[in-house]
Amino acid sequence: MKNVMMLCLALIMSLSLLAQQSRVTGSVTDSKDNSSMIGVNIMEKGTLNGTVTDINGSFSLTMTTQNPVLVLSSIGYQTLEVIVDNRSILNIVMEEDSELLEEVVVVGYGTMRKSDLSGASVSVGEDAIKGSVITNLDQALQGRASGVTAVMTSGAPGSSSSIRVRGQATINAGAEPLYVVDGVIVQGGGSSGASFGLGDALGNGSVSTISPLSTINPADIVSMEILKDASATAIYGAQGSNGVVLITTKRGRAGEAKFTYDGMTAVQRQTKRLDMMNLRQFASYYNDMVSTGQLEESPYYADPSLLGVGTNWQDAIFRSALQHQHQISAQGGTDKVQYYVSASYMDQEGTLIGSEFSRYSFRANLDAELKKWLKMGVSATYSATNEDLKLADSDEGIINYSLQTIPDIPIYDIDGNYATIVREGYTNPNPIALAMLDDILLGRQKLTGNIFFDVTPLENLTWRTELGYDISSSKADRYKPMVDLGAWKRSSNESGIQKNSSTYWQFKNYLTYNGNMDDHYFTAMVGHEVWESRYDFTSIFNTGLPSDEVHNPALGTGTPTINSGFGSASMVSVFTRLTYNYADRYLGTYTYRRDGSSNFGPENRWAGFHSFAASWRFSNETFFEPLLGMVSNGKLRIGWGQTGNSNIGGYLWGTRMTRMPSGLGMGYRPSNIPNTAIKWESQEQWNVGLDLGFFRDRVNLVLDWYKKESNDMLMPLQLPSYMGTSGNASSALAAPWGNYGNIENTGLEIALNTRPIEGNFSWDSDFQISFNRNKLKGLAGTANAQIVGYGQWTDVVSVSTVGEPLYNFYGYVTDGVYQDLEDLQNSPKPAKYPADGVFNRANTVWVGDVKYKDISGPEGVPDGIIDDYDKTNIGSPMPKFTFGWTNTFRYKNFDLSVFINGSYGNKVFNYLGMKLTHMNSAWTNQLNTVADRAILAPVDPDKVYPDGANWYDDVTNVRVVNPGTSIPRASIQDPNDNDRISDRYIEDGSYIRFKNIAVGYTFPPETITNWGLQNLRVYANIQNLWTITRYSGYDPEIGASTASQNVFGLDNGRYPSPTVFSLGLNISF
Amino acid sequence: MKLKRMQYLMLVVAFAFGIGIASCEDFLDRPTEDNYNEANFYQNDEQCVQGVNYLYNSPWYDFQRGFIKVGEVLSGNYYMGNSPYLTFTVNGTDEDLVNMSYSLWAVNGHANTVYNRLKTAKASQATIDACMGECLTWKAMAYFYLVRSFGAVPIIHDNTEELTAGTYNAKFKVAVPDVYDYIIMTLEKAMELLPEKAAAGRIDRYSAEGLLAKVYLTKSGYGQSGSRDQSDLDNAALHAKNVIDNSGRSLLENYADIFRLENNKNEESLLAWHWYPTRDPWTAQNTLQSDLGMKGFSEYGDTWGEWGGPSVDLQDAFGVDALRSPAGRYDTDARRKATMMMPGDKYEYFWQDKGGFDYMKFLYDPEYGAGGPGQMASPTGANSVKHLYGNAFDHEKGLGISAGNMVSGLSTHILRLSDVYLIYAEAKIGNNASTADASAIDAFHAVRSRAVSTYERPASITWEEVWKERRLELACEGDRWYDFVRLSYYNPQRAINELKAQRRDEYWGLDDLYKRYFEDGTFTLTEDQGYNENPQIPNVTASSFTLPFPTEDVVFNPNLMEDPVRVDVRDEFSY
């Protein structure tokens, strides 16, 4: 290698005929792109005489020895020795160090060569992040990384995603992976609206649309490593059980400053509309109810042909929304000091009227070599986000309201004010007024970063000491103005503000030693980490502000409500990692971590976590050599490890007292039942993996099989309501938290990365598919322990039973509708079957009502009665597999990438659809599909009723005209409870989505250098262009419920993800 | 050189590691920082009292809707359109029913927990006893609602013990008579602990005893046919009499005053929920005005009750008729106006800043009634008065603190002295048709003559008179349904007949009638006005008197679907 280099040098050296001189000048360029290299260290060998290249890559040095030799060094490049001979001008080319070029990946507390990894991890590079229009970095994980399912909680701008690494391994709120940015654990500040002080404005669930990750600017990220198996995550011990996402931000490289501008502007829209009844259709529907004696005639609807189509509330609440973002960054530096600085701004309107998200962020990363043995790194980022939030889903969300609002109400009245309606006690707030009048605002600020020193006292030994910090604050602002919409009046306004602040610091020290003896390479790392986080909040709420001009609760004239609170958490850990590599063939890793957490009581505060992994790179064996032409790389990996979870909040081992003022004075209530024995949730995971590369790595296949079992799962004990633990959280006694369950996830991940076509036209393909099976293996308590999830308030929609996957939907199975009296009499008896045989269409089950299947009874067999025994599993929201496929095509300067992702086998509970087909109120609009409901007609139209009774009240004379229908009769009283939870609302949520199509053009360097540019690229991108699905709602991608824990895949008017058309520009100079 | 640097380095490393580990346990010990915890609370008399204050409001919060819907809509005193409570079509998944049961169990859970904790409190014995007595009284009240609503229910004597023993998912329902015994046993202990006299608004011995009298009276008919158990009746009379004679409490002079904010802690009230007007924390407050008050009645846009109102049948009982001109209405009973507002009524205690509240003007004067319904929305021609506090000014004036959206501090009285008077009268009548007992007649007369000034002391009183008097005296106070339950224990057919005969349905055309009356003073009925010709008669059967036990618990515990078990409660449980 060196010989080749020398030859190379010889060729390019200018032939100088000048006699030996003591002065040498010249320039240094990079072999890759012929660019000038600045800051290259040039020493005259054997002396202390030296210099560095200047900004143009030039140098000049006076020689002091005979036959001088120059030694050139620069980070990332091979050190070079140049014999000067008699030359006075030298043009030297330096080559990058191929050793360093080998892919290095970030692992916890260090880096490793990718080829040395024995655990399972997956990288998402800068390209994937750049390739899609994302606001939050977690959105970039969708479909890009095998073993990771990412489902957006909402289509709102800046919204959170539900990320699950290798399935749902725990059921408490902390099922999201750990995010670590440059070694600093990301501090969420809560994921529910209530934790920010928005009360229930965003729903009552433990997750909301607010994303902790939306404060991070994705454009600053260079790569993300997702550590999946326990041997990889065990180094994060107590915090690693849900997987770890290590995020690395961009850092400077030596050289002249390079400026980059990235800009993007986009239009977003909602393409799908539900088929709701328009005014004419609604009037016919109403009149049909009148003709069967259910409603009184209405003069408004008497003649539908005179009516228009009425208000289309969907068109009114959805809009085309703009988004734009700009980022400018500069990087550069010298051999000793490198910097990266950036500033960015983004603003995204939501497609739901009134919603908006904006973010500013600034970053400065600095690396410096202070001494030969001492390096320093500093990074700091500040970000500020502002959100205009709207409650889209849930019973009180804008989507529910808008769809249920009947179409004869105008948006505005003739004076241009918002119109509203009240019909017999049902007040539907005008959805537009609701969206536009009430404020739900959230502003967040965050300063985060770290400073570290790397000390190298001995060769191969590095001591890193690092202080990380995160200082955050937020301001949540809720305002309800005075409203006077005629029928809807609120003459007293309300204003509430809550400010939260939190500080977090972590201090860690670790020593890493790299050693080798012959072919035995080993590293040993030992370290210590401690962190503390503190939070506090104050809130003030008042009513009766004199006007709505200024939104400050201090202006209120009512009695103010003031609240404040504070708390803290801490953790202390020691850890070690040992790796061993024999001749790049046999590799092994052992890690151990011991953690102490303030979340646990003195009895069980500490826990230790081990892991082992080994791999065999069989392609490096001598016997494999004949096969190398075909199989260029082969590695078998096996690993086992333990991790833990303590993510439950503080002081659950004791009983908290909380304030509860009463009419008799201040009161204090024990808010929970304690559990002094609460301890770590632990997880054990096996992983077997195979890496194969074919045809000089043009085809790469990574297979991983895993089985992970979570034991002692942290969760609230599931108790029947007679234990006093149900109902409003501030009124019930919270059930004890403890270690109550076991969950097992097994799965298979396949990633296939190929380059089918190379050359002028090239095609890269990345395909990954993840299968996961999830099973609840055990729950503490009795045989009947269950985990129950609620739809909105008290209706059980999901039940997780032992031996089944988590979060199965639970309800009745339908069996068509009752055709006639005979059918009623011969079918299993529902609750409203009249004991005396006297049927009444308002009080008892009736022809046209839903017939439910008799599944079981008290003896475990069907008993002819439809009751609670007949409720059963009606579908799982867990996908059988998810996949993603990225294809990148390049031709000359054009590139095209097509990214498809999908999910198969998951069921969606169309809870919104349930309310849009219940037909039990005359004042809510319904889907047009209710036209296919069971239509009743007389069996004998000629039957005469001497007492003036109607055929539709005579059960012997009623039949269903359309026997095949699955939609019941319309019934205002709905005695049979036709809209109870049943498989009527369970739909297939499988989908294939053209997630991203991007086309770009990079201008040729020769053109743009004339313009003084280094790089110029323009691109266009379409996101969510097309979704193939059988789901009838807006969007089959539905994450965790924002209304209730333990519910997944329930669509209660989820904010649908928009289709985004964007244009972008990337310039560097 | 190198070695020396190495030595420094090691020192620094050792130091850094040392700091972390030396004080680790202290660093990691973090109980709740911004509030008390159970270990450092209950340290003095004041904290013990504060520790039971919340039993007067928060755990009861989720019961508020069920309180009206079961107590009043189901019993035919209150009309709510399309309500399954009106039509006897309530399911076990009904949200209000489920919430009601949540609340009652929460009361029990909290009462048990605080009761146990108080045993080791650091306070004077007198205070500890009083507080423990309050816990037990509330617990008994919760079980009293439970057994009358759902019949047989499980007995959770000690939540912690059930948890420790792991028996919580295997509980059986306990038969109704045993639940009553358990309530009696609980109240007896409460009476032992409670003081003779407590601070205003708090439970004293007579609160528990008054409740005990009611429990005995209710229990007396259970499982009987036609008549009631004489010893239970005697016990009811005994305890009621003791409250009447010795509690030192008396009836307020003016009936309507009982329900005003100023009188939250009046002496007639033996047991009351004492709310605090705040949303933070939620469940501290009274929200009944929202469901019962008419739109626009308060400033907060938080009332929506105009479409319902006291029923036609209740109006009949009071002798008033929405189809007759308000000008000719003669109210003999002062309780009518304090229970329901009808055209022509004016209330000096509502909207005091605007010179009082005028019902007709509110409905039809667009200026005065801005934001209101703008029409006679109630299909019965009446709207609720009880449980309303008025507007922001009234609240501020009555309590000194402001109301808010779904927030008031109006106390809800759930056991009043007049109730105990009528319990006494009924117990004395017992299994006879009437009584001439002077003390029973005194008690009855005291209640009725307060409201009906012309009422003279009778020579005897009948069961029917007491039955009706209870309805009028306690109308819309969440109690009437339980009168029917009590009756159904020994005479279900009478209860069924009365419910089926009620005029529970609506009037037609009232808006036109009253609009015209408001505009030009003419009051003429046309064929458009009248009681629904085709009224829905509810399908009331003997099983209607037991509401469906919320079904969601069945997934945890299938034993709930089994027959109730018999338990000798005094043997099984003790305080």
Terminal-residue alpha carbon distance, chain B: 79
Q: Which of B241, B240, B244, B224 is nearest to B431 (CA)?
A: B224
What is the structure's pLDDT at A43? 86
Contact call for B109 and A796, based on CB within 8 A:
no
With contact defined as beta carbons under 8 Å apart, do A391 and A353 qualify? Answer: no
CA distance A863 to B298: 53
Query: How many Å separate Cα B272 from the centre of its chain?
Result: 8
Q: Which of B216, B206, B211, B213 is nearest to B249 (CA)?
A: B206
Positions in chain B whose pLDDT score sits under 70: 1-23
Look at A85-99, A731-745, A1016-1030, B346-360 and tell me which has the smallest mean pLDDT: A85-99
Q: Which of A658, A668, A663, A728 is nearest to B61 (CA)?
A: A728
Contact call for B555 and A788, based on CB within 8 A:
yes
Which of the 8 DSSP states describes residue A958?
E
Contact call for B541 and A835, based on CB within 8 A:
yes
With contact defined as beta carbons under 8 Å apart, do A862 and A828 qualify? Answer: yes
How far does the CA of residue A501 sit from the closest CA of chain B (Å)?
A: 15
β-partners of residue A107 are A110
Q: Which residues contact A335 (CB under 8 A, 6 or more apart)?
A: A39, A40, A41, A52, A74, A75, A254, A369
How far does the CA of residue B307 sit from the closest CA of chain A (Å)?
A: 5
With contact defined as beta carbons under 8 Å apart, do B235 and B216 qualify? Answer: yes
How far does the CA of residue A721 sit from the closest CA of chain B (Å)?
A: 6
Give whichever of A231-235, A805-809, B173-177 has the largest mean pLDDT. B173-177
CA distance A744 to A711: 9
Q: Containing H/E element for B486?
A: helix B480-490
Q: Containing H/E element for B86?
A: helix B84-87
- In chain B, positions 406-425, which contact chain A (CB-CB < 8 Å)? 409, 411
- In chain B, positions 295-334, which contact chain A (CB-CB < 8 Å)? 295-296, 298-302, 304, 306-308
pLDDT at A541 over 60: yes
With contact defined as beta carbons under 8 Å apart, do B389 and B261 qualify? Answer: yes
The predicted-structure confidence for B151-186, as pLDDT tens digits, reads as follows 999 999 999 888 888 888 889 999 999 999 999 999
B455 Cβ under 8 Å from any chain A Cβ:
no
CA distances from B379 to A720, B512, B522 (A): 40, 12, 20
Nearest to B50 among A543, A668, A810 (CB): A668
β-partners of residue A1019 are A1000, A1064
CA distance A1052 to A870: 25
A860 Cβ under 8 Å from any chain B Cβ:
no
How far does the CA of residue A289 sit from the closest CA of chain B (Å)?
A: 15
β-partners of residue A341 are A330, A364
Which residue's entry shows tokens 């507007």? B391
How far does the CA of residue B532 sit from the closest CA of chain A (Å)?
A: 12
- In chain B, positions 54-73, which contact chain A (CB-CB < 8 Å)? 54, 56-62
What is the structure's pLDDT at A50? 85
A343 Cβ under 8 Å from any chain B Cβ:
no
Query: How many Å separate Cα A859 from the centre of its chain?
Result: 45
What is the structure's pLDDT at A117? 80
CA distance A518 to A960: 87
B369 Cβ under 8 Å from any chain A Cβ:
no
Mutation for A interface: B107, B287, B413, B553, most A CBs within 10 A? B553
CA distance A405 to A416: 19
Q: Which of A954, A977, A970, A855 is nearest to A921 (CA)?
A: A970
A651 Cβ under 8 Å from any chain B Cβ:
yes
ipTM of the complex: 0.93
Mutation for B interface: A374, A423, A662, most B CBs within 10 A? A662
What is the structure's pLDDT at B12? 67
With contact defined as beta carbons under 8 Å apart, do A824 and A834 qualify? Answer: no
As to burial, measured by CB atoms within 10 angstroms (0-12 exposed, 13-18 middle, 19+ buried), residue A961 is exposed
A972 Cβ under 8 Å from any chain B Cβ:
yes
Q: Which of A89, A45, A81, A83 is nearest to A64 (CA)?
A: A45
Q: pLDDT higher for B484 or A63?
A: B484
A65 Cβ under 8 Å from any chain B Cβ:
no
The predicted-structure confidence for A422-455, as pLDDT tens digits, reads as follows 665 566 678 888 788 889 999 999 999 999 999 9
CA distance B357 to B383: 13
CA distance A476 to A373: 48
Q: Which of A554, A543, A712 is nearest to A644 (CA)?
A: A712
Q: Which residues contact A901 (CB under 8 A, 6 or more apart)?
A: A142, A143, A882, A883, A884, A885, A992, A993, A995
Question: If you average pLDDT over every residue of chain A, what do you get?
Answer: 87
CA distance B359 to B369: 9
Mutation for A interface: B96, B146, B169, B290, most A CBs within 10 A? B169
Percentage of chain A surpassing pLDDT 70? Answer: 95
CA distance A602 to A126: 45
Contact call for B61 and A665, based on CB within 8 A:
no
How, if at all, do strands A255-269 and A1059-1068 pair? Answer: antiparallel
CA distance B312 to B108: 36
Mutation for A interface: B161, B164, B280, most A CBs within 10 A? B280
What is the structure's pLDDT at A159? 82
CA distance A40 to A44: 13
Mean pLDDT along residues A499-508: 94
Which tokens sit at A700?
Answer: 């790469």
Nearest to A457 among B5, B99, B558 (CB): B5
pLDDT category at A13 given cuts 50, 70, 90 is very low
With contact defined as beta carbons under 8 Å apart, do A249 and A182 qualify? Answer: yes
Q: Containing H/E element for A147?
A: none
Residue of chain B whose alpha carbon sits nearest to that of A543: B404
Which string of b and e fits B2-41 if b means at least 16 CB within 10 Å? eeeeeeebeeebeebbeebeeebeebbebbbeebbbbeeb
How far does the CA of residue A207 sit from the closest CA of chain B (Å)?
A: 20
Question: Per-residue DSSP letters for B362-410?
Answer: HHH-TTTTTTS-SS---TTS-EE-TT---SHHHHHHHHSS--BTTBB--
Mutation for B interface: A373, A731, A808, most B CBs within 10 A? A731
- In chain A, positions 757-786, which contact chain B (CB-CB < 8 Å)? 781-786
Contact call for B62 and A728, based on CB within 8 A:
yes
A736 Cβ under 8 Å from any chain B Cβ:
yes
B268 Cβ under 8 Å from any chain A Cβ:
no
pLDDT category at A956 given cuts 50, 70, 90 is very high
CA distances from A82 to A7, A28, A932 (A): 11, 12, 87
What is the structure's pLDDT at A26? 86
Mean pLDDT along residues A826-845: 89
What is the structure's pLDDT at A458? 84
Q: What pTM value is reported for the model? A: 0.82
Mutation for B interface: A664, A787, A812, A947, most B CBs within 10 A? A664
Residues in chain A within 8 Å Cβ distance of B147: none
Residues in chain A within 8 Å Cβ distance of B163: 673, 717, 723, 736
With contact defined as beta carbons under 8 Å apart, do A566 and A539 qualify? Answer: no
Contact call for B156 and A717, based on CB within 8 A:
no
User: How many Cβ atoms sit within 10 Å of the Cβ of residue A820?
Assistant: 18
What is the structure's pLDDT at B3? 52
Nearest to A490 among B61, B169, B300 (CB): B300
Is it true that the peptide bond before B550 is cis, omega within 30 degrees of 0?
no
Query: How many Å separate Cα A994 from the centre of its chain?
Result: 19
Which residue's entry shows tokens 């708390």? A567
Residue of chain A whose alpha carbon sits nearest to that of B302: A490
Which tokens sit at B86?
Answer: 């009106």
B108 Cβ under 8 Å from any chain A Cβ:
yes
Q: Is B325 helix (H, G, I), strand (E, B) or coil?
A: coil
| Max CA pair span of chain B | 117
Residues in chain B within 8 Å Cβ distance of A719: 168, 556
CA distance A1021 to A71: 48
What is the structure's pLDDT at A451? 95
As to burial, measured by CB atoms within 10 angstroms (0-12 exposed, 13-18 middle, 19+ buried), residue B534 is exposed
pLDDT at A14 over 50: no
β-partners of residue A158 are none
Share of chain B residues as helix, strand and coil, in percent rounded to the nearest 5:
55, 5, 40
Mutation for B interface: A373, A453, A723, A865, most B CBs within 10 A? A723
What is the structure's pLDDT at B92? 83
Nearest to B61 among A665, A723, A728 (CB): A728
Residues in chain B within 8 Å Cβ distance of A422: 295, 373
Nearest to B89 among A723, A795, A973 (CB): A973
Q: Which of A674, A768, A669 is nearest to A728 (CA)?
A: A669
- Chain length of chain B: 575
pLDDT category at A378 given cuts 50, 70, 90 is very high
With contact defined as beta carbons under 8 Å apart, do A219 and A1056 qualify? Answer: no
* Start-end of H helices in B89-227: 95-118, 125-150, 159-165, 176-193, 205-219
How far does the CA of residue A510 sit from the closest CA of chain B (Å)?
A: 9
Which of the 8 DSSP states describes residue B168?
T
How far does the CA of residue B234 sit from the closest CA of chain A (Å)?
A: 33
A726 Cβ under 8 Å from any chain B Cβ:
yes
Instruction: State residue A886 phi and psi, 5-degree precision.
Output: -110, 130
CA distances from A821 to A943, A947, A954 (A): 16, 21, 10
CA distance A628 to A633: 8
CA distance A378 to A449: 8
What is the structure's pLDDT at A442? 94
Contact call for B106 and A732, based on CB within 8 A:
yes
pLDDT at A416 over 80: no
β-partners of residue A865 are A829
Dihedral in degrees, nearest 10, Cα atoms B175, B179, B185, B186: 150
What is the structure's pLDDT at B13? 63
How far does the CA of residue A245 sit from the closest CA of chain B (Å)?
A: 26
How, if at all, do strands A374-388 and A41-44 pair? Answer: unpaired
B201 Cβ under 8 Å from any chain A Cβ:
yes
Q: Specify the amino acid at residue A426.
A: Y
